[in-house]
Chain A
Amino acid sequence: MGGLRRLLILLLVVWTVVSLVTLLIELVPGDPAVAILGEQATPEQFAQFREKHGLDRPPFFFSFPRDETGDRHFVWHGGDNRYTDYWRALLRGDMGLSFRNDRPVLDLILERYPATIELAIFAMIVAVLIAIPLGVLAGTNRGTFIDNIASVIALLGISLPSFVIGPMLVYVFAVKLRWLAPSGRFDWSDIILPAFTLGAALSAILTRMVRSSVIEELGEDYVRTARAKGLSERTVIYKHVLKNGLIPVVTILGLQLGVLLAGAIITEKIFGWPGLGLLLVEDGIGKRDYRVVQGCVLVISMTYIVANLLTDMVYRWLDPRIRVS
Chain B
Amino acid sequence: MNRLTIVGLIIVVVLVVVALFAPWIATHDISTTNLAMRYLPPSAQHWFGTDSTGRDIFSRVVFGARISLQVGIVVVAVSAVIGTILGAVAGYYGGWVDRIVSGYVFNVFLAFPGLLLAIAMVAFLGAGLNKLILALCIIGWVGYARLIRGQVLKVREYDFVQAARALGASDTRILLVHILPNAIQPLIVQASLGMAGAVLSEAALSFLGLGVPPPAPSWGVMIEEARDLSTLQAAPHALIFPGIAIALTVLAFNFIGDGLREYLDPRQRTR
Q: Chain A interface (Cβ within 8 Å of chain B)?
A: 9, 12-13, 16-17, 20-21, 24-25, 27-29, 155-156, 158-161, 163-164, 166-168, 170-171, 174-175, 182, 258-259, 261-263, 265-266, 269-270, 280-281, 284-286, 290, 293, 297, 300-301, 304-305, 308
Contact = CB atoms under 8 A, between A and B. Distances in A.
Contacts of A280: 119, 123
A214 to B, nearest CB: 16
Given A9-B108, A164-B247, A170 B227 contact: yes
Interface residues of B, number: 41
A181 to B, nearest CB: 11
Contacts of B121: 24
Nearest to B104: A12
Chain B contact residues, majority secondary structure: helix
B247 to A, nearest CB: 5
Given A16-B108, A262-B115, A280-B123, 18 more contacts: A9-B107, A12-B104, A13-B111, A20-B120, A28-B124, A160-B243, A160-B246, A163-B207, A164-B246, A167-B223, A171-B239, A262-B113, A269-B207, A285-B123, A285-B209, A286-B209, A305-B112, A308-B111
Contacts of A270: 227
B120 A161 contact: no
A179 to B, nearest CB: 15
B223 A29 contact: no
Interface of B: 104, 107-108, 111-113, 115-117, 119-121, 123-126, 200, 203-204, 207-210, 220, 223-224, 226-227, 229, 232-233, 236, 239-240, 243, 246-248, 250-251, 254
Contacts of B251: 155, 159
B113 A164 contact: no
A258 B114 CA distance: 11
Given A155-B251, A163-B223, A29 B116 contact: no
5 tightest Cβ-Cβ pairs between the two chains A and B:
A262-B113, A164-B243, A167-B227, A24-B124, A159-B251
